[in-house]
Chain A
Amino acid sequence: MAKRVVVIGGGSAGTGAATLAIQTDRSLDVTLLTEFEDIAYSPCGIPYVFGREVASMNNLFLQGKEFYADMGLKLRTEVVVERVDVNQRVVHTTTGEQFPFDILILCTGWEYEVPNVPGVDLEGVVFIKNIRRAMEIEKQLDNVKKAVVWQAKPLGVELIEALPKRGIETHLVDAGGWLLSDFADPDMMKPLQDYLVDHEHVKMHFGATLNGFRGQNGKLTHTLTSTGEIETDMAFLVAPMKPATKLAQSIGVKTGSTGAIVVDNHMRTNVPNVFAAGACVETMHGLLNIPINLIQGTYAYSEGRTAGTNAAGGDVSYQPVYVPWGLGAKVQVGGALISETLAKATGTPYVAATGLGITAARYHPSHEKMMVKLLCDPQTHRILGAQFTGGEGVKERADFLAFAIRKATTVEELATMENVYSPAIGALNEPIATCAKNLLNALKQQRK
């Protein structure tokens, strides 16, 4: 009899795990169970449909269900798992169905932690996650004049960039002091913040806590914050995202200090024949050497692929992460963690410097400013983190720096890096190298 693999969860991790399991060993009997109607779509693209940069939610689907069926995958949508019997190796659903397995892969993802404030159940208070719900919200947006986005996390920033494009007066409410203040630095976020205020007319309410919502006839009319009330037709709650681990814990799977599942570098849990991947697991940070919980699809997908390959008998090792990140359109921001804010929070010794450069030759019309900040270890001069603010090329620089950090690159090496010089796409002086030279000077100053 073919070995049976059951994957619970149909997000990036679940889809990646199921497809890689079947591609690694075609003889496997692979079943994917998801409580939602769809799989294999990009929820990260939802704000861009709201902003009409992407024409339709349908464009966010990567593959149709037939694609997976043709591959030999048994796909079961709208199935809620009630419990797992690890001794008998059977998954039980709420409808009484049973799915026997030899190997189980948990990709249960994350859930919003709904804020405990009055009025959160009013019509017009919404969360972004499921694409079908997002389609309904999309239809309602034409009647929305004023919107509030709660929390300046990456999804929140994407929303405040998108909603003004629909002519919606957009307010951002955040207890922090600047955009992405959990991990990014204020000096590096300021250009994006200024752009959103000056050009998109976003109203920023920083240092403001969410106190609740008020409505009329069950419909939202006002958002209540510690700094005042805001007239609101729709409120988008970018609430804290928590790993969904209740099912895992019920079968004895260990969770770590972030609340997510503990896995080794092969995505194996402590329970034999049970793997886990995606937003429900902990991933090791390469520099801090502590586990972190990452929600982004890029990690979910690659971890899912690792789990699927190993579950099918392969041998793939997942690497510690250095978290390249980036967002924005007209003004782009990004980096590789850690930031100066995180260095201060963790107590990591560092020296930092900034450098200003341009993305193309100064006489070429496409050139834009590029601000770089680098952090290094004062003893070894190893790069610890980077941030970028500017025009085109932030993403590529963030990816490059994350890899450079992984390879233990020093400031001296970056200061003498080679770079492309081609008037339309690259300036004579690469901004990263300029910043690295400034960092060398800062290190010299520190020694004096």
Chain B
Amino acid sequence: MPITTKHPAPPTFMQKFRMITEAYLTQVAQREMLQKYPGSGRLPAPQKGFIYTVLPFIFLPGYKLTPWPIKKRLLALFFVHPEQNWPARPWEKTKGE
């Protein structure tokens, strides 16, 4: 089959991991938001698939307990390629001076 500009490439393991965990964490956050602001929306539909039944036990507790500075480093480690060292933000420049 010819390659055309029309189709997305199939996701890699890391891309799938990010897609699934991001969707899951967003839904957890949405539920927390509805608890904080009752009456402002409806509960989202439960996510389907085996992975969403295990994530609350094997992924969420660790993610929640990891302190933000470590979490930020882990996110960068997993998701940022060396080419993506874009210009430093103002607060990063200040820190380095």
* A interface, CB within 8 angstroms of B: 8-9, 35, 80-83, 94, 108-111, 113, 175-178, 181-182, 185-187, 189-190, 206-209, 226, 242-250, 254-259, 262-265, 268, 270, 282, 284, 286, 288-291, 317-320, 340-342, 344-349, 380, 382, 406-408
Q: Please judge, given known A-B contacts A82-B2, A345-B29, A347-B64, whether A265 and B87 are in contact too, CB under 8 Å.
A: yes
Give 21 A-B contacts (CB < 8 Å), ordered by A residue: A82-B3, A108-B5, A175-B44, A178-B41, A181-B44, A254-B81, A254-B83, A255-B15, A256-B79, A257-B14, A258-B15, A264-B84, A288-B75, A289-B75, A291-B80, A342-B26, A344-B28, A345-B28, A347-B68, A406-B89, A408-B90
Binary CB contact string for chain B from 64 to 97 against chain A (1 if under 8 A, 0 otherwise) = 1010100110011011110111110111001000
Q: Please judge, given known A-B contacts A178-B40, A257-B15, whether A346 and B25 are in contact too, CB under 8 Å.
A: yes
Closest to A282 in B: B84
A181–B31 Cα distance when bound, in Å, is 11
* Cβ-defined contact, A265 with B11, below 8 A: no
A8–B6 Cα distance when bound, in Å, is 12
* Cβ-defined contact, B83 with A264, below 8 A: yes
Residues of B within 8 A of A243 (CB): 8
Q: Please judge, given known A-B contacts A111-B6, A181-B41, A320-B89, whether A290 and B32 are in contact too, CB under 8 Å.
A: no
Main secondary structure of the interface of A (DSSP, over half): loop
* Cβ-defined contact, A317 with B44, below 8 A: no
A182–B19 Cα distance when bound, in Å, is 13
Q: Residue B42 contacts which of A178, A265, A340 (CB distance < 8 angstroms)?
A: A178
Q: Number of B interface residues at 8 Å Cβ cutoff, please give it.
A: 52
Residues of A within 8 A of B87 (CB): 265, 317, 319-320
Closest to A283 in B: B86
A177–B81 Cα distance when bound, in Å, is 34
* Further contacts, 8 of them, CB under 8 A, given A80-B6, A255-B15: A35-B4, A82-B3, A177-B44, A190-B40, A255-B9, A257-B79, A342-B29, A408-B94
Residues of B within 8 A of A113 (CB): 8
* Cβ-defined contact, A207 with B44, below 8 A: yes
* Cβ-defined contact, A177 with B43, below 8 A: yes
Residues of A within 8 A of B45 (CB): 175-176, 207-209, 226
* Cβ-defined contact, A244 with B5, below 8 A: yes
* Cβ-defined contact, A257 with B18, below 8 A: yes
A186–B64 Cα distance when bound, in Å, is 22
What are the nearest 8 A-B pairs in CB distance? A178-B41, A186-B40, A344-B29, A177-B41, A345-B29, A242-B8, A186-B41, A206-B42
Shortest CB distance A76–B (Å): 13
A407–B92 Cα distance when bound, in Å, is 11
* B interface, CB within 8 angstroms of A: 2-9, 11-12, 14-15, 18-19, 22, 25-26, 28-30, 32-34, 37, 40-45, 48, 63-64, 66, 68, 71-72, 75-76, 78-81, 83-87, 89-91, 94
Residues of A within 8 A of B68 (CB): 347-349
* Cβ-defined contact, B83 with A289, below 8 A: no
Q: How many residue pairs at the A-B interface have CB separations less than 8 Å?
A: 183
* Cβ-defined contact, A408 with B91, below 8 A: yes
A262–B82 Cα distance when bound, in Å, is 10
Shortest CB distance A277–B (Å): 14
Q: Residue A244 contacts which of B6, B64, B86 (CB distance < 8 angstroms)?
A: B6
A284–B26 Cα distance when bound, in Å, is 19
* Cβ-defined contact, A250 with B79, below 8 A: no
Residues of B within 8 A of A80 (CB): 4-6
Residues of A within 8 A of B84 (CB): 256, 262-264, 282, 284, 291
Q: Please judge, given known A-B contacts A264-B86, A265-B87, whether A186 and B33 are in contact too, CB under 8 Å.
A: yes
A91–B30 Cα distance when bound, in Å, is 46
* Cβ-defined contact, B83 with A263, below 8 A: yes
Closest to A319 in B: B87
* Cβ-defined contact, B86 with A81, below 8 A: no
* Cβ-defined contact, B81 with A345, below 8 A: no
Residues of A within 8 A of B30 (CB): 176-177, 181, 186, 341
A182–B24 Cα distance when bound, in Å, is 11
* Cβ-defined contact, B15 with A408, below 8 A: no
Shortest CB distance B55–A (Å): 13
* Cβ-defined contact, A257 with B78, below 8 A: yes
* Cβ-defined contact, A246 with B9, below 8 A: yes
